[in-house]
Structure 1
Amino acid sequence: MKTGRSFRPIGVFATIMANKSPTQPKNNHASDLVEQAYSLTTNPEEYDQLVLTWEKRISSLVKKNALEIGANEHQIATGEDEHLLRAFTIIERLSAAEQTGAVALDDLLAAYTSPAILARPDGSIRATNNAASQILGVHTHINEIAVDSDNAKTLIERLSPNSATATASPTVLRAYGSDGQSLVLVFSPFHRDQEEPLTLIQTAEINWTKAVDQLLREGFSLTKAEISVTNSIVAGHSIADIAKNSDKSINTIRSQLSSVLAKTGARTQSDLVRLIAGISQIATLKVKPTNNIVAAAKALPDIEEHILLLPDGRKVAYRLIGPKGGRWAVFCHSMFGGPYLSAPARARLRQHNIRLLAVARPGFGETSPVKGGRETRHRTMSQDLKAVMADLGTGPCVLLGQEAGGGQGYTIAHFEPGLISAQVNFSSGIPFTKPEHIKGLPARMRGYMWTARLAPHILPLMIKGAVALLQKGKIELFHRTYYHGEGMDYETSQRSEVALILKKGAEFSYAQGHDAILEQTIDLSLDWSGYLDNFTHPTTLIHGEQNSQFPAKFVKKFADERQNVSFIKVRDGGLLLMHTHAELIIDVLDKQMKSLAGH
């Protein structure tokens, strides 16, 4: 392909550029780009090199035509668009073809961290996970599950294709683990193209939220004391234990329990547990993996997964990280880190008694996507957080922002004033409003930024290519592109626990495809300084000196220009601060929270 011909401005930009005839510089980037693009379809290892070659290509066009951020920033055509489109389309189709095979049932259940069983109508086990074998002691038939004697027959009845389970909401049943632990089984019809009907049986950890309290109070007229007794019964406590812990007599607790049973219509404590499990399922659904998000559903210890159903039918996924009863803080995670923290970070949260609320942005994880432009996405994200905070009764919170999540924090404060009382960001960026901001970025990041601004028609292809690598299990190649050239960060990303968290974070991000990643990449690349017009809440920025994705000097200058912002530089830190300096980050968060509380 010739490299000396002039390029044509496209679409609405044709009029703007009509009086200019910028030409492409003479170099080998164009021919190299085409060759690497097609090579990538059979050799995924070429992706990183393709990104680098593309950056050289677009940067040479920027330099040649004196394009800058702001008034002289125009969309361009590179001359290789058709080849790039064709190559990335091939990659995407190859990836899709590899995923058309149905997920094996055993692999599907492996995504559940709690016991999960697929049972046939006769009670025999079609598939089970390790947790079911270890906790319930079930291997071949559901009659191996320990239940109350009056529930043994009911257990089999739940599996009939003609039962209510097959057509209605999930039903529940009290059972016991191999160690005698009281559990709640939830029965749901399992729909997939198959020859035999199956029932999915899970253990349900009842998620007692403010919504459950409200339903019991308004729907059954339970008093505060009766709700407390109900909560304790569901948690597996005996009447004697409840009386002892509440400094009340056993007769008082029995009387309160009798009132609860009468008001709810439950005949026994087991009936009551079934009722509360059902209410919990209605108020806040536990995450249930589907074929599209199997990998993203796996949880790490100390991380609870929930979904809140909004009145308009949208689903909002959120994670709770840290000790129950801890002080609330909001966690806006990075694009690819997901709502998952390392063991040292979770230990520090327990030490400071902090409980993080991480709400998935629209299109990420299991949260419903939203149609509309940039402002609609940001407003919806802020409203989703507001809804979950109201449901949990958190009140205003300090926000912990990781990388791109720091920018999300400013956005939330803009659209929903009052939710965020203060902010602690680490490894976060700033609005790119000056030429030196993009010029100072590492090559790969600079390529993405210029593409979003000057060749947005190419960016979806690049994102699709990256997601295709992830979906094909080539996450190490993705990390090589994302962290390569950032010495300590790439080394950190290869550590076993860090690699697991980053893998889960990436799976969480592309659980619904590439659209959400693409939208956030564009949001980060464009100027979002307008969200800072009323930015006044106390904010601390923690930044690694070796962070080459977002150079520390730019972040420090951003902080110096604002009275409400302080800056902490970590000399031996890079981008992945949560995996190298978790204690520092959580300590700063704790200090900020205590400062607001007047401690």
Structure 2
Amino acid sequence: MRHVTNDDDNTTVGQIVALTSSWNDSLAQRFKSAMNLTPVELDIVRTIVMGRRLKHLAEARGRSVGTVRLQAKQLLKKLSLNSQTELVSLYASFGELTIGSSADNSGGQAEADPQKIHVLPDGRNLCYAMAGPRGGMPALFFPALIGGITLTPFMRQCLFESDILLITVWRPGLGQSDPDGPPGFESFARHCADIEHLLDELDISACPVIGHVTSAMFACAMAHYCPERVSHVVCVNGIVPSYSGPHVQHLSKIERLRASVLRSAPKIARMLVHSLLAKIESGFDDEFLKSYLKSPQDQKTIRDDAIRSGFRNAHDIITAQSYDGFLHELQLAALDWRPLYDNPTKKITYLIGDENHCYTPKAVAVFIADRAKLHFETVENAGHLLLYQNFKKILKQVKS
């Protein structure tokens, strides 16, 4: 729960975040499995979540307080956390098995989509959710890092009108999907194999794939590694490889700088990403969105309180395991993943908002100019939040 205090000129001067959580043995075992914790580490989590002192745990286990404190410190490091408060927040977020609500511009409340877990052959969890008519045409959706799968009532209505069942799948380390190894080009093939296993489980032979912003690279990877399972690909404000090429000069300066830091100085990149996410979780998410989403259309869209709330809840779910999944995806985006476009056999359509300031329409148009099977269309009166500004157009491409 957040409380904001403003001074006389309506400037934010303080914010308080209160965390509440309770212990549940069933949830605790899932948490233990997902985080790969030892029984001792789970005892430490229980102690901290229940608000007890480590001294009491040390006495119960017959260990020194110093030993237990060292184990707690090592646990925080293992989970890429900086404090016990962050550990409580992580545990509480893990317990939220439904996506938070959002709303359309009329103020209606969105329904929650239950998070489902598909267990892969090697025991890892693959997290996904469904929205739309259960008998509708299936479409895979890889969501963005910002906003996740926030859906307004209008968007849900569009899914039913278009008879599309949206199957949202989280990438490794995001949501409740287990990590699948260090970031590298082979990550794309690994994740595609996981998705193929999920499609088998859902009895889906082939379907369209939607990639949103950074997840466009995973959508294109599906067409590259599993072409028989993909009818076509739609990239909504999708990124393109920023490694090299004439299109790079048309990317925003901040995107070029971000990619360069991720490639050449990974430790600094990790520090910057963790710092940014910690700031967002400290209650400065509104400030971040206002500074990052610069177009007039985006500024208008993000003023909706319910959409901001949906983004905030989605962020909590995306980073439920730690910040590493977020960083993992950015590191993949900075790689040279142009080979995913070599000899494509499936149609790939990029829909780019005319006010997208990151991967601009010009950059995408130049990138796909000499690539067969790649198509490009500028969407007017849309920015980075194109998904929420013209959802009907996106679904029309999915159905085509």
Kindly state the Cα deviation for residue 343 of structure 1 after the two structures are TM-superposed: 2.0
1:524 is matched with which residue? 333
Q: Deviations for 1:127-154, whole angstroms, at most 9, x for unmatched residues?
A: xxxxxxxxxxxxxxxxxxxxxxxxxxxx
Question: Match for 2:201: what amino acid?
Answer: D
Q: Which amino acid aligns with 1:487?
A: P
Q: Deviations over 1:477-510 (max 9, x none)?
A: 3213432x33332332222232123222322221
Distance (whole Å) between structure 2 residues aligned to residue 292 and residue 320 of structure 1:
20
CA gap of 1:398–1:435, structure 2 versus 1, over 3 A, is: closer
Aligned residues: 323
Measure how far apart 1:419 and its partner are: 1.9
Contact 1:559/1:566 (CA < 8 Å) preserved in 2? yes
Alignment of 1:121-136 (within 5 A): none
Displacement, 1:302? 6.0
What residue is the counterpart of 1:293 in the other structure? 94
Map residues 185-196 of structure 1 onto 2, 5 A cutoff. 192-193=46-47
Q: Match for residue 513 of structure 1?
A: 322
User: Which one of 104, 125, 128 corresponds to residue 21 of structure 2?
Assistant: 104
Alpha-carbon spacing, 1:580–1:374, altered in 2? closer, same or farther (3 Å): same
User: Which of the numbers 225, 231, 235 marks the counterpart of 1:415?
Assistant: 225
Query: How many angstroms apart in 2 are the aligned matches of 1:392 and 1:560?
Result: 36
Question: Which residue, out of 121, 136, 152, partners 1:311?
Answer: 121
Alignment equivalent of 2:205, drawn from 395, 414, 418: 395
Deviations 1:492-533 (A, max 9, x none): 222223212322232222111111111111211222101111
Contact 1:493 1:499 in 2 (8 A): yes
Residues 435 and 292 (structure 1), Cα distance of their counterparts in 2 relative to 1, 3 Å cut? same
CA–CA distance in structure 2, aligned partners of residues 563 and 311 of structure 1: 36
- Could you say which residue in structure 2 is the equivalent of 1:264? none
Instruction: Decide whether the 8 Å contact of 1:361 with 1:367 is kept in 2.
Output: yes
1:504 aligned to 309, 313, 317, which one?
313
CA distance 1:102–1:504, change in 2 (3 Å): closer
Paired residue for 1:466, among 250, 265, 276? 276
1:565 equivalent in structure 2: 374
Where do 5+ consecutive residues of structure 2 fail to align?
1-15, 31-44, 52-89, 102-110
Structure 1 residue 578 displacement after superposition: 1.2
Q: Which residue of 2 aligns with 1:324?
A: 134
Amino acid at match of 1:511: A
Indicate conservation of the 8 Å contact 2:183/2:332, yes or no. Answer: no
Alpha carbons of 1:376 and 1:434: their partners in 2 closer, same or farther (altered >3 Å)?
closer
Q: Name the Cα RMSD after superposition.
A: 3.1
Q: Secondary structure at the match of 1:400?
A: strand
Residues in 2 aligned to 1:541 and 1:530: alpha-carbon distance in whole angstroms: 17
Name the counterpart of 2:56.
none
Q: CA-to-partner distance for each residue in 1:13-37, whole Å, 9 max, x for gaps?
A: xxxxxxxxxxxxxxxxxxxxxxxxx
Q: 2:391 aligns with which of 582, 585, 588?
A: 582
State the alpha-carbon separation in 1 of the partners of residues 301 and 178 from structure 2: 32
Cα displacement (A) at 1:340: 2.6
Q: Structure 1 CA distance, aligned partners of 2:300 and 2:245?
A: 30
1:366 matches 2:190: no
* Equivalent residue, structure 2, for 1:541: 350
Whole-angstrom CA distance in 2 between matches of 1:333 and 1:404: 8
- 1:429 maps to what in 2? 239
- Report the CA distance shift for 1:378/1:431 in structure 2 as closer, same or farther (over 3 A): same
Label 1:360 to 1:465 Cα distance change in 2 as closer, same or farther (>3 A): same
The 2-side partners of 1:481 and 1:578 are apart by 19
Q: Is the 8 A contact 2:131 2:156 kept in 1?
A: yes
Pair member with larger Rg? 1
Kindly report which structure 2 residues correspond to 1:237-252, keeping only aligned pairs within 5 A, or say none.
none
The answer as to whether partners of 1:296 and 1:507 remain within 8 angstroms in 2 is: no
Shift of 1:556: 1.9
Map 1:149-188; keep pairs closer than 5 Å.
Answer: none
Which of 145, 148, 173 pairs up with 1:335? 145
Identical counterparts, % of pairs: 23
Conserved 8 A contact 2:250-2:362? no
Shift of 1:353: 0.8
Q: 1:450: Cα distance to partner?
A: 2.2
Q: 1:438 to 1:541 in 2, by over 3 A?
A: closer
Q: 1:309 to 1:434 in 2, by over 3 A?
A: closer
**TM-score in terms of structure 2 length:** 0.73
Query: Judging changes above 3 Å, is the alpha-carbon distance between structure 1 residues 395 and 304 closer, same or farther for their aligned structure 2 residues?
Result: farther
**Partner Cα distance (1:522, 1:437) in 2:** 20
Letter in 2 for 1:381: H
Deviations 1:348-403 (A, max 9, x none): 11001100111111100001112234134322321221121111111111111211
Q: Deviations over 1:526-557 (max 9, x none)?
A: 22101111322012221111111111012123
Instruction: Tell which deviates more after alignment, 551-560 or 454-463.
Output: 551-560
* Cα distance in 1 between the residues matched to 2:296 and 2:333: 24
In structure 2, give the amino acid aligned to 1:501. Answer: G
Q: Which secondary structure does the structure 1 equivalent of 2:114 belong to?
A: strand
Question: What one-letter code is carried by the residue in structure 2 that aligns with 1:520?
Answer: E
- Distance of aligned partners of 1:372 and 1:526 in 2 relative to their CA distance in 1, 3 Å threshold: closer
- Render the CA deviation track for 1:4-53: whole Å, top value 9, x for unaligned: xxxxxxxxxxxxxxxxxxxxxxxxxxxxxxxxxxxxxxxxxxxxxxxxxx
Q: Provide the rounded CA distance (Å) in 1 between the counterparts of 2:312 and 2:46.
A: 27
SS in 2 for 1:557: helix
Counterpart CA distance in 2 for 1:342 and 1:567 is 26
Partner of residue 288, structure 2:
478
Q: Please tell me whether the aligned partners of residues 296 and 365 of structure 1 are also in contact (alpha carbons under 8 angstroms).
A: no
Question: 2-side partners of 1:294 and 1:471: how far apart?
Answer: 17
Map 1:192-207 → 2, pairs under 5 A = 192-193=46-47
Three-state SS of the structure 2 residue aligned to 1:422 is: strand
